[in-house]
Chains A and B, each alone.
Chain A
């Protein structure tokens, strides 16, 4: 088994009502729970706050690449799979995909 990082982007829908947000949280929990039930969850990971800083060469500090909400990383998880294909298959159930988000799947190259 190898470890794969899921990077979730643009999954937030700021206009969601409390009920919609609760329903979305349940779908996330069910999805992560389903991966855990296959014994393929490495680390549930975390969500990230939307604000942040980006440091560029020459001490240039900006308020993050958040002009485009689609590019913003909203969270991450780590899954266990035998291949990139299998990990990608797991990612297909991500609830973020239904609200215009994306999942980037990357194999972790352990140091």
Chain B
């Protein structure tokens, strides 16, 4: 790797490790000190490495510099050190002996502690996601703003408010205890699930950025799998779900960042390795009695890795959606369940059920009705697609709906020609 590529690469992989260890050392009160030290370390690297060439082991170099900078900081801020010495559990007299532990074990422990601090329900979900990207993944406010299609100031303020809240709530960055893990793991999983969805379902046209978000969510979940106490069936199920979804990443996005519908996807673009990984973790997830919504969603995603339409596939998907909706209602699950119902029980049943859903402000509802009425009552199908079209602002949705309308229109014309002859 060239030097110009190496520093951004190391920044991506090592900054977050160094900063996590320092966050844990300094506590939530002083996270900006940790950030300054970590940033200074990389600044020095980019200056020195340019002049003197690369050190033999760049990662070890970064760790050593970060350790020294931390010790220097503590030495030169004795007042500060006295003030925080209780928090960092060292007396002022011995601060020069502080061992800044950048072993893999302590890095993992620190990152885990940070996941639990950042995903604290004292902040709303969107703030938690922002903080996770900022504090755990080293994303800048600008990068997060790009990902969320909003401006930098909005994200900056959101992050500041979020950090302030963590401070006022005195959230501790520490290895969570067993009872705390049981109590707070669901909130952590929800945040990481939303982070993944942000990348996977986003209308953002920057595909590599969307992939990054998905990848980061998977990396954080994997940290939970690596830790014995957080390696629960639900965590494995969520990781499995993410593997299955990501396996279709290349196949479901066209060159313009628009969505390619499942039925039109090229199976050759599905990532077989990720599918196998998904199956592996879904098996691990089945080890207990717990049946979380992630289990059900992962199982649904598993069946979608079988492209061929079989009665067994759709009956399984329908029953999984039936169960999922009993655990937690969502409009998307209700729509998808009705689609599966059409495949399993026929369109007549599905139309009757769809009419009861009452999701009239959603374009996907009318797209579903358009799909169900196709070949049953094509004039009605066309009407529904028109409603769908009027309810969406997304260009790629409009293209998709437009194609469906053309299909229905040609069916209507065929019939017309037929009746004339």
Interface residues of A (CB under 8 A from B): 26, 29-30, 32-34, 36-39, 41, 44
Complex: chain A residue closest to B319, CB-CB: A29
- On whether the beta carbons of B318 and A41 are closer than 8 Å, the reply is no
B interface size (C-beta, 8 A): 19
Interface centre among A26, A33, A36 (most CB of B within 10 A): A33
Partner pick for A39 among B318, B319, B334, B353, CB 8 A cutoff: B334
Q: Does B306 contact A (CB under 8 A)?
A: no
Interface centre among B323, B325, B329 (most CB of A within 10 A): B325
A36 to B319, CA, bound (A): 12
Which residues of B are found within 8 Å of A38, using beta-carbon distances?
334, 356-358
Interface centre among A26, A33, A37, A41 (most CB of B within 10 A): A37
Which residues of B are found within 8 Å of A30, using beta-carbon distances?
318, 322, 341, 345
Q: Does B168 contact A (CB under 8 A)?
A: no
A26 to B314, CA, bound (A): 13
**B interface SS class:** helix
- On whether the beta carbons of B356 and A33 are closer than 8 Å, the reply is no
Complex: chain A residue closest to B334, CB-CB: A37
- On whether the beta carbons of A29 and B334 are closer than 8 Å, the reply is no
Between-chain CB contacts (< 8 Å), 19 pairs: A29-B319, A29-B322, A29-B323, A30-B322, A30-B341, A33-B321, A33-B322, A33-B323, A33-B325, A33-B326, A36-B322, A36-B326, A36-B329, A37-B325, A37-B329, A37-B337, A37-B338, A37-B353, A44-B326
CB distance from A35 to the nearest CB of B (A): 9
**Given the known A-B contacts A29-B319, A39-B334, are A34 and B326 also in contact in the complex, defined by CB atoms under 8 Å?**
no
Using A33-B325, A41-B329 as known contacts, list a sample of 15 further A-B pairs with CB atoms less than 8 Å apart, ordered by residue number in A: A26-B319, A29-B322, A30-B318, A30-B322, A30-B345, A32-B326, A33-B319, A36-B325, A36-B326, A36-B329, A37-B321, A37-B338, A37-B356, A38-B358, A39-B329
Interface centre among A29, A36, A41 (most CB of B within 10 A): A36
- On whether the beta carbons of A33 and B358 are closer than 8 Å, the reply is no
CB distance from B91 to the nearest CB of A (A): 56
Interface centre among B318, B322, B329 (most CB of A within 10 A): B322
A99 to B334, CA, bound (A): 28
Complex: chain B residue closest to A39, CB-CB: B329
Using an 8 Å CB-CB cutoff, how does the interface string of B331-368 with A read, 1 for contact, 0 for none?
Answer: 00110011001000100000001001110000000000
Complex: chain B residue closest to A43, CB-CB: B326
A38 to B322, CA, bound (A): 11
- On whether the beta carbons of A33 and B329 are closer than 8 Å, the reply is no
- On whether the beta carbons of B337 and A33 are closer than 8 Å, the reply is yes
Which residues of A are found within 8 Å of B321, using beta-carbon distances?
33, 37
Which residues of B are found within 8 Å of A29, using beta-carbon distances?
319, 322-323
Complex: chain A residue closest to B353, CB-CB: A34
Complex: chain A residue closest to B322, CB-CB: A33
A29 to B322, CA, bound (A): 7
CB distance from B348 to the nearest CB of A (A): 13
A38 to B354, CA, bound (A): 9
A52 to B322, CA, bound (A): 30
Which residues of A are found within 8 Å of B338, using beta-carbon distances?
37
Which residues of B are found within 8 Å of A32, using beta-carbon distances?
322, 326
Complex: chain A residue closest to B315, CB-CB: A26
Which residues of A are found within 8 Å of B315, using beta-carbon distances?
26
The 10 closest A-B pairs by CB, nearest first: A33-B322, A36-B325, A37-B334, A39-B329, A29-B322, A36-B326, A44-B326, A37-B337, A34-B353, A38-B356
- On whether the beta carbons of A41 and B334 are closer than 8 Å, the reply is no
Complex: chain B residue closest to A28, CB-CB: B322
Which residues of B are found within 8 Å of A33, using beta-carbon distances?
318-319, 321-323, 325-326, 337
Complex: chain A residue closest to B349, CB-CB: A30
Complex: chain A residue closest to B320, CB-CB: A33
Complex: chain A residue closest to B338, CB-CB: A37
Which residues of A are found within 8 Å of B325, using beta-carbon distances?
33, 36-37, 41
Which residues of A are found within 8 Å of B322, using beta-carbon distances?
29-30, 32-33, 36
Within 8 A of A (CB), among B393-417: none
A34 to B326, CA, bound (A): 10
A38 to B326, CA, bound (A): 11
Within 8 A of A (CB), among B271-325: 315, 318-319, 321-323, 325
A44 to B315, CA, bound (A): 20
A57 to B296, CA, bound (A): 48
Partner pick for A41 among B326, B337, B353, B356, CB 8 A cutoff: B326
- On whether the beta carbons of B356 and A34 are closer than 8 Å, the reply is yes
Which residues of B are found within 8 Å of A26, using beta-carbon distances?
315, 319
Complex: chain B residue closest to A25, CB-CB: B319
